[in-house]
Amino acid sequence: MENKETIPASQPAPAPRPMGAPPMHRESAGPRRPGGRRFAPRRKVCRLCAEHIDLVDYKQAQIVKTFCTESGKILSRRITGACAKHQRQIMRAVKINRNLSLMSYNG
């Protein structure tokens, strides 16, 4: 029997990557640490839950101001680490303080 060589079918050209797509090589996966482990940031814990504060009231201006920027914008949960329950209470307290002119509207 003769061994017939098969001619490989021509492979289609790879589709172009969309604009802004990350490079396809391994280096884009993120920074590496010795041992092959990637850096994992510590999970933020809600400061109000840790201090056993059940209710954030608008009268607690010192607590409410720590969750805002100097210009009066409310910081996000991603930045502060507040849980959803406390973030809603902070939001209400800031809005009440703005109406009472205890905090600024600048933003």
Q: Is 62:70 a contact under the CB 8 Å cutoff?
A: no
Number of domains in the chain: 1
Domain span holding position 88: 57-99
> How far is 38 from 10, CA to CA, in rounded Å?
39
- 79-99 pLDDT, tens digit each: 999 999 999 999 999 999 999
Give this prediction's pTM. 0.59
Side-chain half-sphere exposure of 73, counting CA atoms within 13 A: 8
Question: Does the residue 12 lie in any domain?
Answer: no
Question: Does the residue 82 lie in any domain?
Answer: yes
* Structure confidence at residue 93 (pLDDT): 95
* Structure confidence at residue 103 (pLDDT): 85
* Structure confidence at residue 90 (pLDDT): 96
Nearest to 73 by CA among 95, 57, 55: 95
Question: Does the residue 22 lie in any domain?
Answer: no
